[in-house]
Amino acid sequence: MSWISMLTPVQWALFSLIPAGIILLYFLKLRREPVQIPSTFLWARTVEDLHVNSLFQRIRKNLLLFLQLLAILLAAFALLSPGFRGERSNFGRTIYLIDTSASMMADDVDDAENRFEAARKQIRERIDTMPSSDTAMLITFSDRSEVMQSYTGDRAKLRDALNRVQLTNRTTDIYGALKAADGLANPRRSSTMGDTADIQVADAMNADLVIYSDGGFPDVSEFNVGNLAPTYIRIGSDDVENVGIVAFTADRNIETPDEVKAYGTVVNYGKLAQSFTLSLYVNGQWRDSTGVQLDPGEESGISFPLTGQEDAASIEIRLENEDDLPYQDALPLDNVAYAGLRPMRTVSVLLITEGNRPMEVGMSTANAKKMSIVDVQPTSYLDSEEYAARASSGLDDLIVYDRCQPKDMPATNTFFIGALPSNEWEWTSDPGQVLLIDSDRTHPLMRYLELYSLLIFEGRSVKGPEGTQELLASDSGAVLSLAPREGFQDLVLAFEIISTDDEGNLLTNTNWFSERSWPVFLLNVLRHLAGAADESAAGTFRPGETVRLRVASELPEVDIARGSGTPETVMTGSNGFIQFVDTDAPGVYQVTSSEGDEQELVEMFCINLFSSLESNVKPRQNFDLGYEAIQAEGTTERRMEYWRWLLLIVLLVLAGEWWLYNHRIA
């Protein structure tokens, strides 16, 4: 049994005067005017009262007084809101974690609009029945976490914070929310472990951690619950059907840019076979449709060929039923996917070399010349003021350093051949013959490449900074790696194409330049690193991600809008980079610049969910949290309230008292 007071101490003090007043009324004698009438003598006890001159009378046994005091006592108990709650750990502190990710839009709950509203309803019930001595905190999580309300015992503040929580289109990452909860329950020490002067900066405080989610997030293995007592409230039904588009893109043919192929992947995450129509739309106009049937758990790749599409375009595919209406399942968000064909753009490439004929020839092919302007300079150019200005301003889209290294890294993407970008990189083997053993075929730089027949006479393996991707591996380690650098990318090839002997004569170090894969590789470099003209597929990002793009540096600002929506003006950096954060809504976003009264399309990007964790909306039964396996409890225990029954008894007592009073009078 637990009690939740509905009144403040001052209100209880005023309430306590009511029974005292009732008893006092029974002690007081009514003062009547003496009136002589014959019938008065028939009321002997009344006549006796008339002869008593004292203010108070001796209280007599009176059933009415007992019933009135009983009603007040029962009302007092009702105002204490008695109730019974199932067994649970209760430390007086509760941390509510509510999932606001895309999968919580699923409408497979009976008593609410969607899973999110069902979770919010349960939390609201917990807040309404929270003892006044308890405190609670509210944290939301999707791909990022937010503390909506820190610890408080004020139920009104908690309700207001809960009302401000918004459902999002984002993916799920619970780790940030767990770290926020962990910060209070498991305070850290002031210095590193093992220090004898280390002190505890705060006392550890136990807390109930109640997670309201469908479990659409990865296990969190590297987490210590410490003083947290986790409870997983599983939101959603097992009998849920959903078909989702998990991938979609459109790209031009390398040889014939007016030919476009759009392809995607659709997965049936439900328990039943599903039939539907997949329709393709270009710039909002229907272009093609195909029927699809998927068994439970089956996925299918779909492709649509397009011809005569030379201009930039917005492309989307939609799941529809036989009547060309939107397909109905638990999660409509993943029933539409977007792709885009970017506008044609010529990029600027600076090649710094002491002589690399294969590189210059590869950059001068018809396709390469169509998409890039290449400026070849000797290594002495690195010491010029002109180079310093170009490098610091990011004037070039790509700088290729052949067997040379700059003093400072430029504000653009780079490609190093036989050299290291900075001291964050290091050689991990001695020079020697290289035998290729593996490549990352999924990366755009390695697309359409067959490299196992290459001969490399001398090379080394290389190791980059944190976040480096190994694209090509040899028997001694990575020989082609790509690493991020403050918004830019650095590509390092660990062997030379052309080398020199002791006398300075040029020698070939590999037969790669004689292979068909060499010009294809250079085209991939131009497309991926420089953002070249026929890199037609618009970039795809997930909802909520910060989009970083590069436009012409001479543009002071650009306008960004989703579809035909209201554009948002974004200032362009000195090197042409822009950052856009308002990406919660899926769709095709167009980046335009103003020239007089006309708008010119300069770039585009797409926002898509593309998450199997979100599209697979069947709620998880359990997940790993540190060393514990957290089992779902289905729903939080509901507090059995008794105060309503007490008020009903109060009404019955008052009704009985009224009947007795009127019966005695009669």
User: How does pLDDT run across 296-351, given as a tens digit for each residue?
Assistant: 999 999 999 988 776 788 999 999 987 778 899 999 999 999 999 887 667 889 99
Does residue 190 register a pLDDT over 60? no
Average pLDDT of the residues in 40-60: 52
- The CATH number of residue 233's host domain is 3.40.50.410
Does residue 637 register a pLDDT over 50? no
User: DSSP letter at 67?
Assistant: H
In a 3-state reduction of DSSP, which class is residue 50?
helix
State how far the Cα of 604 lies from the Cα of 621, in Å rounded to an integer: 40
User: Would you state the pLDDT for residue 200?
Assistant: 44
State how far the Cα of 510 lies from the Cα of 492, in Å rounded to an integer: 16
Q: Does any domain span residue 591?
A: yes
In a 3-state reduction of DSSP, which class is residue 233?
strand
Percentage above 90 pLDDT, the chain: 41
Could you give the angle at which helices 643-665 and 63-79 cross, rounded to 10 degrees?
160
User: DSSP letter at 25?
Assistant: H
Specify whether the CB–CB gap between 374 and 366 falls below 8 A. Answer: no
Q: Does any domain span residue 439?
A: yes
State how far the Cα of 227 lies from the Cα of 208, in Å rounded to an integer: 9
- The CATH number of residue 335's host domain is 2.60.40.10
Residues 299 and 351 occupy one common structural domain? no
Domain boundary (289, 323, 344) is at 344
Q: What is the number of domains present in the chain?
A: 5
What would the DSSP string read from start to end of 261-289? EEEEEEEE-SSS-EEEEEEEEETTEEEEE
Contacts of 533 (CB under 8 A, 6+ apart): 344, 345, 346, 347, 370, 371, 372
User: Would you state the pLDDT for residue 255?
Assistant: 60
Residues 417 and 507 occupy one common structural domain? yes
Does residue 127 register a pLDDT over 80? yes
Residues 456 and 484 occupy one common structural domain? yes
Residues 629 and 652 occupy one common structural domain? no
Specify whether the CB–CB gap between 125 and 85 falls below 8 A. Answer: no
Residues 259 and 218 occupy one common structural domain? no
Q: Does any domain span residue 598?
A: yes
Confidence of residue 168 (pLDDT cuts 50, 70, 90): very high
Longest dimension (CA), the chain: 149
Quick: pLDDT tens for 411-433: 899 999 999 999 999 999 999 98
Quick: pLDDT tens for 264-297: 999 999 999 999 999 999 999 999 999 999 999 9
In a 3-state reduction of DSSP, which class is residue 51?
coil
Residues 269 and 368 occupy one common structural domain? no
Confidence of residue 576 (pLDDT cuts 50, 70, 90): confident
Could you give the angle at which helices 155-164 and 115-128 cross, rounded to 10 degrees?
170
Residues 157 and 208 occupy one common structural domain? yes
Does residue 132 register a pLDDT over 90? no
Q: Going along 219-259, which residue ranges are E strands?
A: 228-234, 243-252
Range of the domain at 564: 539-607
Does residue 383 register a pLDDT over 60? yes
User: DSSP letter at 326?
Assistant: B
C-alpha to C-alpha distances, 390 to 370, 387, 474, 487, 575, nearest whole angstrom: 23, 5, 35, 18, 10
Confidence of residue 636 (pLDDT cuts 50, 70, 90): very low
Q: Does any domain span residue 612?
A: no
Does residue 152 register a pLDDT over 70? yes
User: DSSP letter at 332?
Assistant: G
State how far the Cα of 242 lies from the Cα of 331, in Å rounded to an integer: 6
Does residue 86 register a pLDDT over 70? no
User: Would you state the pLDDT for residue 563?
Assistant: 82
- Locus of tokens 């039923």: 321
Contacts of 582 (CB under 8 A, 6+ apart): 568
Confidence of residue 197 (pLDDT cuts 50, 70, 90): very low
Residues 557 and 623 occupy one common structural domain? no
Q: Which of 75-79, 278-282, 556-560 has the lowest mean pLDDT?
A: 75-79
Which residue from 546, 542, 602, 595 is spatially nearest to 576, judged by alpha carbons? Answer: 602
Specify whether the CB–CB gap between 522 and 446 falls below 8 A. Answer: no
> Phi and psi of 556, rounded to 5°?
-70, -30
User: Would you state the pLDDT for residue 260?
Assistant: 86
Residues 214 and 152 occupy one common structural domain? yes
pTM for the whole structure: 0.63
Confidence of residue 89 (pLDDT cuts 50, 70, 90): very low
State how far the Cα of 90 lies from the Cα of 229, in Å rounded to an integer: 9
CA 86 to mean position of chain CA atoms: 33
Reduced to 3 DSSP states, what percent helix, strand and coil does the chain have, rounded to the nearest 5?
Answer: 25, 35, 40
Residues 269 and 218 occupy one common structural domain? no
Domain boundary (495, 528, 561) is at 528
Specify whether the CB–CB gap between 498 and 355 falls below 8 A. Answer: yes
Residues 138 and 231 occupy one common structural domain? yes
Which residue from 273, 276, 322, 270 is spatially nearest to 302, judged by alpha carbons? Answer: 276
Average pLDDT of the residues in 439-451: 84
Q: Residue 182 CB: number of other CB atoms within 10 A? A: 20
Residues 387 and 411 occupy one common structural domain? yes
Consecutive H or E run containing 654: helix 643-665
